[in-house]
């Protein structure tokens, strides 16, 4: 998510790495001329995405998943605990969907690796393995993986790891419900709703009331940061910056997932769903406006927004686009409002057109880039594993809700 494990290099050195291979040159020229990759069925795109995630795991050697394929930094990066954690449910779900134990066993290896590299406190490190500083957000994402494995395997080691991590999160929570210690850039974030959600997953099995109370305090704090137009303060990596659709979607998805655990608290659910729908519809409006004005451009949703849901961003954040697709599909499932489904379908087809299924470079074939065009500010010229993970999740969710696309 944050690319904090990469070694700093000079700009000239980065460019040399980018142009070292023909496949890297093609990546650049493809976006310069605004080309689209050929679109196939959802099943084909999903399979290629999953196989790329498997190659990313193999590239890391140790059981975790490489942070991604980053030409500016020499290729495959080391395993990244945070995103390996939430790739576990993706591979596990695909294994169950295809009835293929090969992918299930890979997800189990990821979960065991996460247990091996966690910190003594039960927390997850801030970046790559070897970093002894814990991180709130990363810990939450790995809990999601451990809980998925707990539900599938019933193995106590995964629940024990998740429970210990959840108690560490609660112990380091501020009295008003936010997290401000052990956070990215040493500041609170409303996208920690994606930390609250995994705590609730542990609560669902343990029934520890302390966990539910902790999450409710956090949700109440998050709601104090919301404006009438669905905007939140502290939605970016820093308080001053315009947040990416990536962290905006983290915030909304976390709220949406948490709401399902508070069915007995009508007031809280009503407050959450009101702001979730308002935010989502404002993003949807921006998407539709951009799409109408830029018919010849692939970048139909800007990467960042300001507090008025306006943007001058010249590129699109592919990860955020995939995450928003998931949110729109879930909202369609809840409300049956066609506008959410139509937007999700259009966005998924655009995302499919950014996935190169013919490259001979195993680091590129099947992966989704960080930005569109590839030189955008979010992970430029690179393929972070979380872009492909959320794309795979969106394809599987569309299959669940409305069936598969038959594009050829």
Residue among 27, 126, 67, 141 nearest 387 (CA): 67
The pLDDT value given to residue 28: 73
The reported pLDDT for the residue numbered 103 is: 98
Least confidently predicted of 25-29, 54-58, 95-99, 290-294: 290-294
Q: Is the pLDDT of residue 100 over 80?
A: yes
pLDDT digit string, tens, across residues 193-206 = 999 999 999 999 99
CATH class of 11-402: mainly alpha
Q: How far is the C-alpha of 311 from the C-alpha of 297, rounded, in Å?
A: 16
What is residue 36's predicted lDDT score, i.e. its pLDDT? 83
pLDDT tens for residues 365-377? 999 999 999 999 9
Q: Retrieve residue 24's tokens.
A: 């890297």
What is residue 358's predicted lDDT score, i.e. its pLDDT? Answer: 94
Tell me the pLDDT tens digit for each residue of 119-140: 999 999 988 777 789 999 999 9
* Contacts for 120 with CB less than 8 Å, ≥ 6 apart: none
Q: Where are the domains of the chain?
A: 11-402
Percent of the chain whose predicted confidence (pLDDT) is above 70: 91
Cβ–Cβ < 8 Å for 397, 88:
no
* pLDDT tens for each residue of 248-286: 999 999 999 999 999 999 999 999 999 999 999 999 999
As a whole number, mean pLDDT of residues 302-308 equals 97
Q: 14 pLDDT band (50/70/90 cuts)?
A: low
What pLDDT, on a 0 to 100 scale, did the predictor assign at position 131? 77
180 CB burial (10 A radius; 0-12, 13-18, 19+): middle
Question: Confidence class of residue 404 from pLDDT cuts 50, 70 and 90?
Answer: low
308-324 burial: b if 16+ Cβ within 10 Å, else e = ebebebebbbbbbbbbb
Give the model confidence (pLDDT) of 209-241 as tens digits. Answer: 999 999 999 999 999 999 999 999 999 999 999
**Taking the model in full, what pTM does it have?**
0.93
What confidence tens digit (pLDDT) does each residue in 18-53 have? 555 766 777 776 777 778 889 999 999 999 999 999
- The 3-state DSSP class for residue 105 equals helix
What is the model's pLDDT at position 29?
65
Q: Report the mean per-residue pLDDT for the chain.
A: 92
Look at residue 5 and tell me whether its pLDDT is greater than 70. no
Residue among 190, 198, 130, 205 nearest 168 (CA):
198
Between these two residues, 18 and 387, which has the higher pLDDT value? 387
What is the torsional sign of CA 230, 232, 236, 239? positive
pLDDT for 77 equals: 96
In the predicted model, is pLDDT for residue 329 greater than 80? yes
- Chain position carrying tokens 């195993």: 362
């Amino acid at each position: 998510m944050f690319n904090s494990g990469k070694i700093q290099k000079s700009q000239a050195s980065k460019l040399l790495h980018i142009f070292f291979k023909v496949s890297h040159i093609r990546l650049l020229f493809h976006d310069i001329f605004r080309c689209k990759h050929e679109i196939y069925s959802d099943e084909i795109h999903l399979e290629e995405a999953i196989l790329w995630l498997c190659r990313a795991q193999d590239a890391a050697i140790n059981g975790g998943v490489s942070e991604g394929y980053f030409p500016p930094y020499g290729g495959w990066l080391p395993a990244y605990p945070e995103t390996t954690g939430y790739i576990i449910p993706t591979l596990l779900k695909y294994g169950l969907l295809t009835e293929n134990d090969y992918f299930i066993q890979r997800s189990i290896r990821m979960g065991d690796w996460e247990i091996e590299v966690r910190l003594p406190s039960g927390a997850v490190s801030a970046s790559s393995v070897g970093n002894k500083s814990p991180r709130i957000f990363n810990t939450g994402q790995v809990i999601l993986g451990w809980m998925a494995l707990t539900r599938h395997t019933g193995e106590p080691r995964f629940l024990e790891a998740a429970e210990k991590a959840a108690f560490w999160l609660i112990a380091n929570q501020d009295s008003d419900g936010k997290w401000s210690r052990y956070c990215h850039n040493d500041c609170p974030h409303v996208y920690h709703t994606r930390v609250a959600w995994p705590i609730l997953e542990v609560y669902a099995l343990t029934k520890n009331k302390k966990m539910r109370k902790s999450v409710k305090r956090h949700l109440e704090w998050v709601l104090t940061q919301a404006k009438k137009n669905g905007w939140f303060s502290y939605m970016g990596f820093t308080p001053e910056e315009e947040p990416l659709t990536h962290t905006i979607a983290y915030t909304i998805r976390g709220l949406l997932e948490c709401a399902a655990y508070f069915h007995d608290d009508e007031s809280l659910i009503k407050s959450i769903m009101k702001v979730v729908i308002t935010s989502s519809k404002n993003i949807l409006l921006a998407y539709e406006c951009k799409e109408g004005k830029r018919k010849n451009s692939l970048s139909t949703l800007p990467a960042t927004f300001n507090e008025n849901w306006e943007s001058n961003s010249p590129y699109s954040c592919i990860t955020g686009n995939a995450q928003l697709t998931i949110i729109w599909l879930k909202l369609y499932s809840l409300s049956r409002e066609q506008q959410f489904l139509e937007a999700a379908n259009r966005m998924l087809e655009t995302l499919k057109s950014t996935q190169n299924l013919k490259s001979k470079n195993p680091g590129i074939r099947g992966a989704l880039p960080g930005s569109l065009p590839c030189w955008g500010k979010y992970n430029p010229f690179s393929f972070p594993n979380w872009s492909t993970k959320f794309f795979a999740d969106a394809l599987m969710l569309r299959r669940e809700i409305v069936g598969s696309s038959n594009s050829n």
